[in-house]
Amino acid sequence: LLLLLLLLLLLLVIHSQGQNLVTDMISVVEGETATISCRVKNNDDSVIQLLNPNRQTIYFRDVRPLKDSRFNLVNFSDNELRVALTNVTLSDEGRYVCQLYTDPPQEAYADITVLVPPGSPIIESREEAVSEGNETEISCTAMGSKPAASITWRKGNKELTGVSVVEETYDRMFTITSRLTLMVYKEDDGTPVTCVVHHPATKDLQAQTFLEVQYKPEVKIVVEFPEGLTREGENLELTCKAKGKPQPHQINWLKLDDDVPSHAVITGSDLFIENLNKSFNGTYRCVASNLVGEAHDDYILYVYDSRAGGGAPQKIDHAVIGGVVAVVVFAMLCLLIILGRYFARHKGTYFTHEAKGADDAADADTAIINAEGGHSNSDDKKEYYI
């Protein structure tokens, strides 16, 4: 009898272990739908029910005792009880219990985590405009999220890291604020700085601002006239080009170690001197200033004699010169080849009239006798050398 009881107990344990009750952990965004699935392997018609975090029965088999219309039956069978919870709120968060009526009863737990995305990030700069070479601070805040969001920064296409502080509010929500400190230069003016908020409940959110950097003027003197040498009796016209942020509010002309010629005309950024002479020689300076600072550029004037140089040197067309040289070289090479071939063919050729008629003579004596003119006419002999 004892052996029989032990055998029955063993069968019950094996039977209960054969019915495996499982479920899943659930993360859902506030306002969306969460699906709870209670699944049984090898069920023997045991009853499945679903309880809320307060252990109130939501569904007993396919019957819903709980009067909450947001719970809807999706599937009921011997092996599964699946329920959908619509329009999830933070109050729905907690541990839900899948229960299987066996001996002893089995339970599996489905934890619902409600995610709340942050609001649109707010980006702020400590100063509206900052002077070059100084530091500025930009802050970015993302409020009302669960869990807390994270923030990264970009300056142009470059990734940067700020310092973040997370605060938990009374309603179990989180607010994160990140501060970015950076040194700015003239080249940074107009560069976008982007705050990127990361959260599992939504795609990345962004907020952007643009750096406004003030810098002192950049100054350059341009010679409008003359184009070449500055000669006696001619006129000189200079223009001072200055650019800065803010735009230069004052431009001045002066001559180092002396006064600007009395008859020079200064109109805004232009300096005009007529009828140049050597007493005007010296360094002329244009000074531009704005709220950030001032800068200058110098022009050294040297007046030449009226007969000096013909102005700016003429431009040489190197391509034309190169073409002419190539044609001359090619012609010389052709001439050398022709002469070489000619002399090679006629090298050592020597013709006289002494042996004229020798080809028809029977012997040497006859050839000499038949030769035109003979030896007696040697004074009239003509020779041709080629």
Chain segment 240-296, per-residue pLDDT in tens: 999 999 999 999 999 998 999 999 999 989 999 999 999 999 999 999 999 999 999
Give the pLDDT score at 126: 94
Q: Measured between alpha carbons, how far is 9 from 2 in angstroms, rounded to an integer?
A: 11
Q: What is the pLDDT of residues 142-163, one digit of tens each?
A: 999 999 999 999 999 999 999 9
30 within 8 A of 114, measured Cβ to Cβ: yes
8 A C-beta contact, residue 31 and residue 73: no
Q: What is the pLDDT of residue 103?
A: 82
- Cα of first residue to Cα of last residue in the chain, in angstroms, is 150
- Residue 42: left if φ>0, alpha if ψ -120 to 50, beta else—which one? left
Alpha-carbon distance of 291 to 296, in angstroms, equals: 15
pLDDT per position as a tens digit, 63-90: 999 999 999 999 999 899 999 999 999 9
Q: Does position 351 have pLDDT exceeding 50, yes or no?
A: no
- Is the pLDDT assigned to residue 376 strictly greater than 50? no
Q: What is the pLDDT of residue 20?
A: 86
CA–CA separation, 142 and 69 (whole Å): 34
Inform me whether the pLDDT recorded for 58 exceeds 60.
yes
φ, ψ dihedrals at 144, nearest 5°: 70, 50
Mean pLDDT is lowest, of 18-22, 184-188, 208-212, 286-290, for 18-22
Where helices occur in the chain by DSSP H, the ranges are 2-18, 318-345, 364-370
Burial of residue 178 (CB within 10 Å: 0-12, 13-18, 19+) is buried
| pLDDT: which is higher, 378 or 26 | 26
**In the 8-state DSSP scheme, what is residue 258?**
B
**Of all helices (H) and strands (E), which one includes residue 114?**
strand 106-115
Q: How confident is residue 360, by pLDDT bands cut at 50, 70 and 90?
A: low
The pLDDT assigned to 14 comes to 41
CA 215 to CA 246: how far, in whole Å? 7
Q: Is 129 exposed, middle or buried (0-12, 13-18, 19+ CB in 10 A)?
A: middle
- pTM recorded for the entire structure: 0.66
What pLDDT is recorded for position 13?
A: 45
Q: Which of 129-138, 304-313, 315-324 has the highest mean pLDDT?
A: 129-138
Q: What is the pLDDT of residue 6?
A: 55
Confidence of residue 3 (pLDDT cuts 50, 70, 90): low
Tokens for 94, please give them. 């907690």
- Determine the Cα–Cα distance for residues 125 and 119; give it in Å rounded to an integer: 19
How many helices (H) and strands (E) the chain has is answered by: 3, 27
Alpha carbon 126 to its chain centroid, in Å, reads 27
The residue to which tokens 């004596």 are assigned: 365
The model's pLDDT over 337-347, given as tens digits with 9 standing for 90+, comes to: 888 887 777 65
**When comparing pLDDT for 364 and 187, which is higher?**
187
Please calculate the CA angle 41-45-47 and round it to the nearest 5 degrees.
90
